[in-house]
Amino acid sequence: MTNSPDIGRVATSLMVARPRELLRELREGTDRVKALKAIKNQVIGSKFKKNAFVSEGAVEAVLEVLRDATSSANPSEDKMEVVQQQAAIVIGSLSLSDVGLRRLISNEGLPFLLTMLHSADEAVVEAALWAVKMVVQQSTCVPSYFTRPPAREAGSPLPESPAAAAAAATPGPTVAAAGPLSVTPVRLDATAMSAIVRCLAVAGSSAAHTGSGSGMLAAVPRSGRTAAIVALAAALVACCCRRTEERNLAIAAGAPEKMLRLLLGSDRADTQVAALEGLSLMLPYQPSACALALSCPEIYGRLFTLLRDPTPSVRLLAASCAATLCRMPGCEQTEAMQRAALPVLLRLLTQPATRPHVPAVLASLVEASEALQKAAADADAVRLLAGLLAAEAVAAEAETTTARTTGQAVAAPDAAAVSSGVTPYLATCAAADGGVSSSLREGCLRALGSLCLNHDESRKQLLEAKVLRHIVKALEDPSNGVRAAAALCVRALTRCVRTLRGGLLEGGGGELAQLLVDMLTDQELEVQTNAAAAVCNLVLDFSAVKSAVLSAGGLTRLVELTRSPATPLRHHATWALANMLYRADNSVRVQLMEALPWSRLRQLLFDSDPRVVEQALVILRNLCMAGRQQVAAALEWAESDRSGGGGECGGSGGGFASVTGLCTTPAPAHGHGPPDQQPLPATGDKETRYDGILDVLQARIQAAAAAMSVTDVESESAASTPGVSHSPHSEGAASPPSASASAPALAAAAATTAGIFRVTRPEQYLQTVAHATHALYAVANLLTGGATVKDLVASRRPLLAAVAALLYPRAGELALPAVWCAVNLTWPAGGGSGGGGGGGVDRLNRLEQEAVATRCNALLDVRGEERLEELSRQHPSRDVQERARTALEQLRSGAGLAVRTSDTSSPAAVMTALTAQGL
Amino acid sequence: MGRGEAGSKKNIPMDVWEQKLATVKVPKADLNKLIMNFLVTEGYVEAARMFEKESGTAPGVNLDAITDRMEVRRALQGGDVEAAMERVNDLDPEILESQPKLFFHLQQQRLIELIRAGNVESALDFAQQNLAPLAEENVEFLEELERTVALLAFEDSKSSPLGDLMDVAQRQKTASELNAAILQSQAQEKEPRLPLLLKLLLWAQAQLDERAMYPRINDVATAQLVPPTKAE
């Protein structure tokens, strides 16, 4: 109709008179209740009238009445409570217009409402609660949860044209004055929140049962004013929980327990649903409330029932609570709840009304369970989520364009932060759109990431869905959560080479590398962690990506991240560095040694987390690559850093101090303090320059060797050495870095405990084995270096003894790297076999042969021959047997003992060794 | 059903059926609850009070609240929309605050009552003051408002093409909408369970018709079991 604007304009002129009259009546008249009621009946439901009254000073006038009513000098004859009740409702209604809300705040009206919450009159309490709820609703721009869904069809949430979006005219009155710019922030303080939370408990029943689960089923009145107050309070608390600060206040005020009681005890549907919503928002942040919930057996039945509720949004909230509780240790029906919640969520995902809020809940449900991830993937969840992600991205683009053309600001980042996390409420009002779409985006990405993390089929589906563009774009999203979730997707995708070839790496991978390096510099920890994991996966298989990551400065960045206090990030960063070195050419090794000083790696080698230690050992193993030059470079690197940290190394010669097992250097400092926290003493010992690396490796090998022997003796030694039965790592951390060999001490402690772990804590045992494997290979690699290194290794009797201890059929997998050590140690230098020591060899060759003999004898000293012989006969692996035979041959010929029996070998070996030393 | 199918259906004679029915125990208390639910939801306050007294069945809700609800309905059906709205606002301000469609329908009903009273001036005045702002915000409302205001153009609005708006049924419709909203705000079911059970019965019989011949209830008012007609 073309004349409707005219009607509106005429109406405006007519409207002004009435509010003014009514307000005069309120100020001057005798019947204030009548005036208040008249105002109330005009403003309820009409945004237009609210604005008209507010602009005539209605908020101030009503507050004035309230002030009078509560003061002792009450001029009117009306009953104070009735005045308060009606005034509160008028204030609440007027607060639903943003102007009204602003007036209320600027006139400091909120405390009046909050004071009324303590009134003895239930009608006053109810009215005040309602008014506060309106204020909170309006200030969060989130419509009421229950009343909203049926009313929503009334006004379509999406404006039809850009012009319509620009106009302030948003549909229903509850979403009045929408738009991120017009939200008036109202902050409730702790006192206010505790007054509200107090209303959750029915008067008189709160003291009867506190804490114990059995009291949770106390009767909550079904009808009447009390029931209405409880229902209102529950809805208000749920509404407050949508904002972080108020949620924390509500938790502090004890809301979770009271809401739980309502969920289990109330049979009013609206109260239950409000309690459910509040709990779905609070439980993820309050493990103690989860524990309390799980202590009531009724919670399971109630959630199962609510999962079947006819209202989709209720099912969603129930699934959200179930997802949170499933992950708690005390949950008795984890599987049953997961199995019940998953199909519900998958169905909700197909329904437009609930769809935007499902992915976040789905993500949190499947995150913890691989079986669920598979089940969800089988139900076509990947395709659905990808479709949702794409649709959301398109809508967001359109919205941005719209906002730009109409001069509106795009949803502020903090608006998005407000509703990040699980936000199951079904508000689709324009103002919250930024938040909803951001939470939808995050939910989709997170769920997709979880689904793809362990399933190749899902990764394939995700690539087929052609949403890679949106995932990559989300890596630059202003919301931390969205970026983290997108990074999880990328990480999941990098787990499969095949999917990568057709997807992320299209076009060479250079762009991807830059992207990943950017992600490594992200401010959000989770993004960094996922990016490090992605780099870790990529550099293993794609040399192009590896060099691109290098040239984008990824190496330096990863080294920086190894300092992170967050263990997963440190672990992934270390791992990524280790993988960078895998099959890398020399330039990569050189670059890494430049970026990562030995002192830093040494800290990682003594990290509190064994997984970090393992990757640090892999770095060391990959650095000490076979080859004279490489080994020399690695040793040079360790030495140069040491001299930088602890002063010059002197050149004066000394004895083989380490032969005796005494370490001349202290164990490096633990933790993640600055490098070279502990200046190393300048021992002036020429050989100590290698001790840094060798000490570390020796300790790890000794730990494994001791674990083996202790396992053989079984529990005996565990009982005999109670003093050191801590975990090997904490022991290492606790031991003072005294010069008297803390590394062997660490090894001894580890040894004692590792044996116990083999039986009681197999994980720790496996860790010890893994550490030793890398250490053994590193030693084997070092033994391909120059004679100096070889001699140094050979001169370490404890190291050789530990290696020899692993030359043992029962050492299992460790026997192979150990045998490699033996092979390399006894390797005849210069290609000459040196069998009989013919007369045609020159002096240099003879010197070399003597050096070989020294090494071989050192091995004989630690019963290497018997060990190798036993190994060559009894190890289950043919490969090991073969190598053992090779080592044995080399050993015998190197030591010139080809025909000698092992019984007589020892004295001769010592003699040879002495001779060698003398030279 | 086709003739060929009849033979494949199971035939359940009356005595077997009644035997089966006899094994189903329905506690009297449940039946009473069902009746109370009907009385309460439909708003038969006096009957509910009597039934409570006689059967000892708790109404489950505050009967005074029903009185309020019934008064709202009575006011609306009597044409006093304003009184009905005031009453609703006293009961729960949230109802009209949060349901713009319902609020518009009530204001529209007020306009209709003014037109019915032949008060053209105040009808126009009311439309301008209270309905135009709502219509400005919502296209759907605008159309309805146009339709309603158009009543003024007719000499005899009742026999006009828009006469349905003037009908008592329009009042009933608005009253039902409001009643349902009040029930919802009090967290009660919007309709009694009894009709739902009858619907369920009809559905179940329809399912059974495809599989068996059995004593059927053809008239729900009498609930008489009609024995199956002999097959063949």
State which amino acid sits at residue A84: Q
pLDDT > 60? residue A428: no
Q: Residue A647: inside a domain, yes or no?
A: no
Q: Is A389 exposed, middle or buried (0-12, 13-18, 19+ CB in 10 A)?
A: buried
CA angle, residues B103, B182, A274, in degrees to nearest 5: 105
> Considering CB atoms only, which of B62, B82, B125 is closest to A224?
B62
State which amino acid sits at residue B174: T
Domain containing A129 equals 13-142
pLDDT bracket for residue A162 (50, 70, 90): very low
What chain B residue is nearest to A91 in terms of C-alpha separation?
B93
pLDDT > 70? residue A295: yes
B69-86 pLDDT, tens digit each: 888 988 998 999 999 999
pLDDT bracket for residue A728 (50, 70, 90): very low
State which amino acid sits at residue A340: A
Distance from CA of A148 to the nearest CA of B (A): 7
Q: Residue A445: inside a domain, yes or no?
A: yes
Burial A81-91 (b: 16+ CB within 10 A, else e): bbbbbbbbbbb
pLDDT (0 to 100) of residue A131: 94
pLDDT (0 to 100) of residue A694: 81
Distance CA(A238)–CA(A732), nearest Å, equals 49
DSSP A202-271: PTTTTTT--S-GGGGG-----SHHHHHHHHHHHHHHHHHTTSHHHHHHHHHTTHHHHHHHHHHH---HHH
Q: Residue B35: inside a domain, yes or no?
A: no
DSSP collapsed to 3 states, A666-731: CCCCCCCCCCCCCCCCCCCCCCHHHHHHHHHHHHHHHHHHHHHHHHHHCHHHHHHCHHHCCCHHHH
What chain A residue is nearest to B82 in terms of C-alpha separation?
A41
Least confident of A209-223, A871-885, A894-908: A894-908
State which amino acid sits at residue A708: M
Among A113, A142, A171, the domain-final residue is A142
Question: Hey, are the CB atoms on B93 and A48 less than 8 Å from each other?
Answer: no
For range A406-433, the mean pLDDT: 36
Distance CA(A164)–CA(A8), nearest Å, equals 17
What chain B residue is nearest to A94 in terms of C-alpha separation?
B97
Q: What is the DSSP letter of A315?
A: H
A154 CB neighbours in chain B (<8 A) are 99-101, 138, 140
Q: Given the structure tokens 């010592």, which residue do they identify?
A: A910
Is some CB atom of chain A closer than 8 A to the CB atom of B45? no
Reduced to 3 states (helix: H, G, I; strand: E, B; else coil), residue A659 is: helix
Among A90, A115, A142, the domain-final residue is A142
> Considering CB atoms only, which of A8, A40, A147 is closest to B89?
A40
DSSP A134-173: HHHHHHHT---TTTHHHHHTTS-SS-SSHHHHHSS--SSG
Q: Residue A901: inside a domain, yes or no?
A: yes
Q: A131 vs A405, which has greater pLDDT?
A: A131
Stretch 364-383 of chain A: residues touching chain B, C-beta under 8 Å: none
Is some CB atom of chain B closer than 8 A to the CB atom of A96? yes
pLDDT > 70? residue A772: yes
Q: Residue A50: inside a domain, yes or no?
A: yes
Q: Residue A74: inside a domain, yes or no?
A: yes
pLDDT > 80? residue A777: yes
Reduced to 3 states (helix: H, G, I; strand: E, B; else coil), residue B219 is: coil
Stretch 23-52 of chain A: residues touching chain B, C-beta under 8 Å: 37, 40-41, 44-49
Distance CA(A555)–CA(A573), nearest Å, equals 10
Burial A177-189 (b: 16+ CB within 10 A, else e): bbbbebbbebebe
pLDDT (0 to 100) of residue A327: 84
Task: Give every CB contact of residue A692 below 8 A, 6+ residues apart in sequence.
Answer: A598, A602, A638, A642, A665
Is some CB atom of chain A closer than 8 A to the CB atom of B55? no
Distance from CA of A1 to the nearest CA of B (A): 7
Q: A16 vs A392, which has greater pLDDT?
A: A392
A570 in Cβ contact with A562 (< 8 Å): yes
pLDDT (0 to 100) of residue A503: 58
pLDDT > 90? residue B120: no
Distance CA(A899)–CA(A346), nearest Å, equals 76
pLDDT > 50? residue A695: yes
CA distances from A10 to A17, A21, A23, A465 (A): 12, 19, 22, 55
Question: Hey, are the CB atoms on B94 and A147 less than 8 Å from each other?
Answer: yes
pLDDT > 90? residue A492: no
Distance CA(A482)–CA(A557), nearest Å, equals 22
A255 in Cβ contact with A210 (< 8 Å): no
With CA atoms as reference, report the closest residue to A174 among B28, B42, B102. Answer: B102
Q: Residue B94: inside a domain, yes or no?
A: yes
Q: Is A241 exposed, middle or buried (0-12, 13-18, 19+ CB in 10 A)?
A: buried
Is some CB atom of chain B closer than 8 A to the CB atom of A93? yes
Is some CB atom of chain A closer than 8 A to the CB atom of B127? yes
A168-186 pLDDT, tens digit each: 333 333 333 333 334 566 7
A245-272 pLDDT, tens digit each: 889 999 999 999 999 999 988 878 889 9
pLDDT > 60? residue B43: yes
Distance CA(B103)–CA(B95), nearest Å, equals 9
In chain B, the largest separation of any two C-alpha atoms, in whole Å, equals: 73
Candidates A46, A136, A160, A225, partner chain B, best to mutate (most B CBs within 10 A): A46
pLDDT (0 to 100) of residue A221: 64
Is some CB atom of chain A closer than 8 A to the CB atom of B185? yes
> Considering CB atoms only, which of A40, A144, A268 is closest to B98?
A144
Is some CB atom of chain A closer than 8 A to the CB atom of B65? yes
Q: Residue B30: inside a domain, yes or no?
A: no
Distance from CA of A423 to the nearest CA of B (A): 21
A429 in Cβ contact with A178 (< 8 Å): yes
- How many residues are there in chain B? 232
For range A274-282, the mean pLDDT: 93
> Considering CB atoms only, which of A7, A96, A170 is closest to B97?
A96
For range B37-65, the mean pLDDT: 84
pLDDT (0 to 100) of residue B33: 92
Question: Hey, are the CB atoms on A171 and B142 less than 8 Å from each other?
Answer: no
Q: Residue B72: inside a domain, yes or no?
A: no
Q: What percent of chain A has pLDDT over 90?
A: 14
pLDDT (0 to 100) of residue A59: 93
With CA atoms as reference, report the closest residue to A238 among A434, A85, A427, A436. Answer: A427
Burial A636-668 (b: 16+ CB within 10 A, else e): ebbbebbeebbeebeeeeeeebbbeeebbbbbb
Distance CA(A437)–CA(A687), nearest Å, equals 64
With CA atoms as reference, report the closest residue to A824 among A909, A912, A891, A914. Answer: A891
Which range has the top average pLDDT, A22-26, A83-87, A802-806? A83-87
With CA atoms as reference, report the closest residue to A229 among A196, A267, A186, A193. Answer: A196
ipTM over 0.85: no
A151 CB neighbours in chain B (<8 A) are 98-102
For range A368-390, the mean pLDDT: 87
pLDDT bracket for residue A436 (50, 70, 90): low
Stretch 122-151 of chain A: residues touching chain B, C-beta under 8 Å: 130, 134, 143-144, 147-148, 150-151
Reduced to 3 states (helix: H, G, I; strand: E, B; else coil), residue A664 is: coil
pLDDT (0 to 100) of residue A887: 83
For range A719-732, the mean pLDDT: 31
pTM of the model: 0.67
Between helices A287-294 and A255-265, what is the axis angle to 10°?
30
Q: Residue B121: inside a domain, yes or no?
A: yes
Q: Residue B92: inside a domain, yes or no?
A: yes
Candidates B137, B177, B183, partner chain A, best to mutate (most A CBs within 10 A): B137
Q: B126 vs A542, which has greater pLDDT?
A: B126
pLDDT (0 to 100) of residue A800: 83
> Considering CB atoms only, which of B95, B98, B132 is closest to A11?
B132
Candidates A2, A7, A14, A93, partner chain B, best to mutate (most B CBs within 10 A): A7
Q: A635 vs B4, which has greater pLDDT?
A: A635
Is some CB atom of chain B closer than 8 A to the CB atom of A268? yes
State which amino acid sits at residue A409: A
B130 in Cβ contact with A180 (< 8 Å): no
A692 in Cβ contact with A598 (< 8 Å): yes
Q: What is the DSSP letter of A184?
A: P
pLDDT (0 to 100) of residue A54: 93
Question: Hey, are the CB atoms on B129 and A150 less than 8 Å from each other?
Answer: no
Q: Residue A484: inside a domain, yes or no?
A: yes
pLDDT (0 to 100) of residue A766: 83
- How many residues are there in chain A? 919
With CA atoms as reference, report the closest residue to B42 among B221, B172, B223, B189. Answer: B189
Q: Given the structure tokens 């009238």, which residue do they identify?
A: A49
Distance CA(A768)–CA(A704), nearest Å, equals 6
Residue A227: half-sphere exposure toward Cβ, Cα within 13 Å:
22
Q: Residue B230: inside a domain, yes or no?
A: no
pLDDT > 80? residue A382: yes
pLDDT (0 to 100) of residue A18: 80
pLDDT bracket for residue B99 (50, 70, 90): very high
Q: What percent of chain A has pLDDT over 70?
A: 68
pLDDT bracket for residue A505 (50, 70, 90): low
Question: Hey, are the CB atoms on A223 and B128 less than 8 Å from each other?
Answer: no
B132 in Cβ contact with A14 (< 8 Å): no
Least confident of A123-127, A442-446, A655-659, B52-56: A655-659
Q: Given the structure tokens 């609510």, which residue do they identify?
A: A306
With CA atoms as reference, report the closest residue to A424 among A382, A364, A469. Answer: A364
How many structural domains are present in chain B? 1
With CA atoms as reference, report the closest residue to B188 among B76, B67, B5, B61. Answer: B61
A155 CB neighbours in chain B (<8 A) are 100, 137-138
User: What is the distance in angstroms between the CA of the first residue and the CA of the last residue of chain B?
Assistant: 13
Question: Hey, are the CB atoms on B136 and A4 less than 8 Å from each other?
Answer: yes
Please list the residues that pair with B225 across neighbouring strands.
B217
Which range has the top average pLDDT, A216-220, A417-421, A881-885? A881-885
Q: Residue B231: inside a domain, yes or no?
A: no
For range A657-686, the mean pLDDT: 30
Least confident of A277-281, A658-662, A693-697, A863-867: A658-662
For range A424-428, the mean pLDDT: 35
pLDDT bracket for residue A76 (50, 70, 90): low
User: What is the distance in angstroms between the CA of the first residue and the CA of the last residue of chain A?
Assistant: 112
pLDDT (0 to 100) of residue A506: 60
pLDDT > 50? residue A604: yes
* CA of residue B89 relative to chain centroid, distance: 22
pLDDT (0 to 100) of residue A626: 63
Distance CA(A544)–CA(A831), nearest Å, equals 38
Is some CB atom of chain A closer than 8 A to the CB atom of B122? no
Task: Give every CB contact of residue B128 below 8 A, 6+ residues apart in sequence.
Answer: A7, A10, A11, A14
What chain B residue is nearest to A5 in terms of C-alpha separation?
B136
Q: A499 vs A366, which has greater pLDDT?
A: A366
Among A93, A120, A142, the domain-final residue is A142
pLDDT bracket for residue A217 (50, 70, 90): low
For range A54-71, the mean pLDDT: 87
For range B156-168, the mean pLDDT: 80
A726 in Cβ contact with A749 (< 8 Å): yes
pLDDT (0 to 100) of residue B105: 94
pLDDT bracket for residue A377 (50, 70, 90): confident
Q: A779 vs B191, which has greater pLDDT?
A: A779
A528-538 pLDDT, tens digit each: 888 888 888 88
pLDDT > 80? residue A895: no
Distance from CA of A60 to the nearest CA of B (A): 21
pLDDT (0 to 100) of residue A509: 55
pLDDT (0 to 100) of residue B77: 87
How many structural domains are present in chain A? 3
Distance CA(A769)–CA(A392), nearest Å, equals 49
Domain containing B124 equals 82-185
Task: Give every CB contact of residue B183 below 8 A, 6+ residues apart in sequence.
Answer: B41, B69, B189, B190
pLDDT > 80? residue B111: yes
* A-B Cβ pairs (cutoff 8 Å, strict): 114
Token readout for A38 is 């008249």
